[in-house]
Amino acid sequence: MAVAAAVMATAALALAPGAPPRAAGRRPAVLVTSPSATTSTVPAPAVRWAGAVEHLFFHPLVIRPELAFTRDRLAQGFRNFFLTAGEFRAVLAQLDRNGWTLVDIHRAVAGEVRVPPGRRPFVLSVDDVNYYDYSRTRGLGWRLVLDPAGDVKVESRDDRGVRLTDDDIVPIIDEFVSRHPQFSADGAKGVLAVTAYQGLLGERLDDRRSQDRAGSVERATAMARRLQATGWVFADHSYGHIDFARAPLAVARRDIERWQRVAEPIVGPTDLFVYPFGAAPPPSSPLVAMLRDHGYTVICDIDVVPRFIRAQGVVIMSRRHIDGLALRQEARPLAPFFDVASVEDRAARSAGLPRAASAGRVDRRP
């Protein structure tokens, strides 16, 4: 599986300080506003962090477990690769209590991380912030929207109607950081990794005949600007969620250029790339050189330890997957972050089952 492959890749460290990235200009200008602190506490000055930087990644959250966790094959994928909004809130509270602080991925790669005294840094990322058709009807969000105050909310559309809530990662983090300033260093929030084959951020951009296409582009662009102004950064997660461990070079190149045509006008240029499925080619692969030549100098894969691999002018940063599988299988490695037993919402996870039973095949990670 992907983790094993990543572990093997670690053993084959191809360290090459190498040539500077050719397209260093792709890194976007980041406009970060300070988190709007609603408490009167003034955080102590941040101190330099010299150790490893952890990276935890998630998917958009399950808002209505009884629609996601049913008996079909898709349900098993939701159980394996997703958390509920309640579980994510529990994770966040424990991360904060255990002294973790969000940091910017570019600072982590540059070795310029600072955290409040006594706290430990981690990068957070969210994959597939697209609100795909398959998940919209299964109790996940429909799209991100700005409320009248300009805050980010997630829209749900189901048998209860259309409504805006805070039940997804961006609104939950935004709100949490505003109440807990020590939880974010330098205004950092997280990395949002997006594909483009079914639009962006829940706005459908693929149907050129759609009468509302201009509106969709406008809303997605406004949302992207708002997210970037509040500490979020974007990553390319490939156009079509393709497998970079298997894709021929020409196929991968076409996919990347398509993402840059469709997504880049909306989310802006990025030097971050996140492998779909966590499926990574070897660091010495020509695909890595192709990514570098297209401006991606920070690439993320999956591993169960924090590490950087420097190869071919890029940095490959590992991430830990935080999902249903991790709650069941990684209690011990995750103990410094949170206690899996108190996070897992077993009742929610069996909400869509007629009886206690949840066998089924394990699908690939989205």
Is 77 an interacting residue with respect to Zn ion (CB under 5 A)? no
Q: Tell the residue number behind the tokens 């807990």, with chain if given.
A: 180
Question: In this structure, what token pair is assigned to residue 100?
Answer: 């973790």
From residue 210 to residue 239, what is the string marking binding to Zn ion with x (rule CB under 5 A)?
------------------------------
Are the C-beta atoms of residues 247 and 138 closer than 8 Å to each other?
no
Are the C-beta atoms of residues 309 and 283 closer than 8 Å to each other?
yes
Q: How far apart are the first and last CA of the chain?
A: 13
Is 366 an interacting residue with respect to Zn ion (CB under 5 A)? yes
Between CA 136 and CA 124 the distance in angstroms is 23
Is 203 an interacting residue with respect to Zn ion (CB under 5 A)? no
Between CA 326 and CA 337 the distance in angstroms is 12
Stretch that binds Zn ion, among 226-234, 275-283, 292-300, 310-318 (CB under 5 A): 275-283
Q: Tell the residue number behind the tokens 């991790």, with chain if given.
A: 326
Is 128 an interacting residue with respect to Zn ion (CB under 5 A)? yes
Stretch that binds Zn ion, among 32-40, 76-84, 127-135, 322-330 (CB under 5 A): 127-135
Is 344 an interacting residue with respect to Zn ion (CB under 5 A)? no
- Count of residues engaged in binding Zn ion, rule: CB under 5 A: 4
Stretch that binds Zn ion, among 47-55, 77-85, 274-282, 329-337 (CB under 5 A): 274-282
Question: In this structure, what token pair is assigned to residue 64?
Answer: 């209505």
Is 323 an interacting residue with respect to Zn ion (CB under 5 A)? no
Is 104 an interacting residue with respect to Zn ion (CB under 5 A)? no
Is 127 an interacting residue with respect to Zn ion (CB under 5 A)? yes
Task: Kindly state the smallest distance separating residue 238's Cβ from Zn ion, in Å.
Answer: 8
Is 60 an interacting residue with respect to Zn ion (CB under 5 A)? no
> Taken in order 97, 99, 105, 106, is the CA torsion positive or negative?
positive
Other Cβ atoms less than 10 A from the Cβ of 11: the count is: 6
Between CA 290 and CA 249 the distance in angstroms is 8
Q: Rounded to the nearest 5°, which phi and psi values hold at 315?
A: -115, 130
Task: Kindly state the smallest distance separating residue 170's Cβ from Zn ion, in Å.
Answer: 17
Task: Kindly state the smallest distance separating residue 197's Cβ from Zn ion, in Å.
Answer: 11
Q: Tell the residue number behind the tokens 């509920």, with chain if given.
A: 84
Map the footprint of Zn ion across residues 300-319, applying CB under 5 A.
none
Is 255 an interacting residue with respect to Zn ion (CB under 5 A)? no
Residues that bind Zn ion (CB under 5 A): 127-128, 276, 366
